Structure 1
Amino acid sequence: MNAVKAYVARSDGDFVRVKILNGKIKKELISIGFVNDIDLGEYKIATPSDEKKAEIFNRLRDMDVYFSYGREWCPSEVFEHLRDAGLLSGKFTMISWTAPGEFFITTDK
C-alpha cells in the first residue's frame, strides 16, 4: 500500500488546498507558504495566477503530494490544464476514492 502523505483537495479558485494525512509534511508545506485553515482542517496557499499555481503544483509534486481526481474541476484536471498551457511538464500522481476510506492511486499518462 502506498503511504499517502497529503493530497491537493481543491485548486479551482485563488487558493490551493492540501489535506494532510501524515503530519511529517506540515513543515515542508509551511516552508513554501502554506497556512493552516483550521475551519477545514487543510493547509492553503494563495495562487492569484496560473503561473503561481503551476509553481506550487510543481513543488507539491516534488514533495510526493497527490492530486485528487473526481468531479468537476478537480486538482488533477487543473494540473493537466496548466501542463497543456506549457506552465508545467511531466507526470503526476492522482488519488481517487471508491468509498469512504477506500482510494486508489494512479500516475497520469
Structure 2
Amino acid sequence: MTSVKSSAKAFVSEGALSEIVVKIMDDSVVEFLVGLGFVAVPGKEKETLSLIAPNQEFKVEVFSRLRDEGICFSVGPDWCPAEVFEFLRDQKKLTGFYRKIVWEGTSTPKIIENC
C-alpha cells in the first residue's frame, strides 16, 4: 500500500553509474552518510555527498542501508535512482519497500512510502 508523507532527511539524486549522490535536506543524516563513506562534493559542502561504488554488490549494500535509514530515491527522467532500486529489486538483489521523492512542478516534493 502506498502512502504520501511530506518530509525527507535526504534523497539519492544519482545512482545509475558507479557514483551514488545524496542531497541533504536535514543535517541529522550527515553523520550516518559519512559513516558509510560518503564525502562532500567540492563546492557543495554538506548539502551534497557522494560515494563511488566499485561494484554492484557494494551499490546494493549501500542502497539497502540508505533505504533502512529512510532516505528517499528520486524519481525523474532517464535512469533515475528509483528505477535503479526497482531494477535491483527485480533482479532479487534488493528486497523490501523503499521511499520515493517526486517533484511536481515547483511545489514541495511528495514522499511516497512503501514502493
Equivalent residue for 1:32, pick from 29, 33, 36: 36
Tell me which residue corresponds to 1:7.
11
Tell me which residue corresponds to 1:90.
96
In 2: Cα distance, 1:42 partner to 1:11 partner: 13
The answer to which structure has the higher strand fraction is 1
- Aligned amino acid, residue 64 of structure 1: G
What is the aligned residue count? Answer: 109
> RCO greater where, 1 or 2, for CA within 8 Å and sep 6 or more?
2
In 2: Cα distance, 1:100 partner to 1:8 partner: 19
Q: CA shift at 1:2, angstroms?
A: 3.1
Tell me which residue corresponds to 2:64.
58
Provide, for residues 58-83 of structure 1, a one-character-per-residue CA deviation record: whole Å limited to 9, x for no partner. 00011110000111100000001111
Task: Give structure 1 stretches of 5+ with no counterpart.
Answer: none
Q: CA shift at 1:23, angstroms?
A: 0.7
1:79 aligns with 2:85: yes
| TM-score after normalising by structure 1 | 0.91
Q: CA shift at 1:87, angstroms?
A: 1.0
Identity level (%): 34
| TM-score after normalising by structure 2 | 0.87
In 2: Cα distance, 1:85 partner to 1:52 partner: 15
- Aligned amino acid, residue 41 of structure 2: D
In 1: Cα distance, 2:79 partner to 2:7 partner: 25
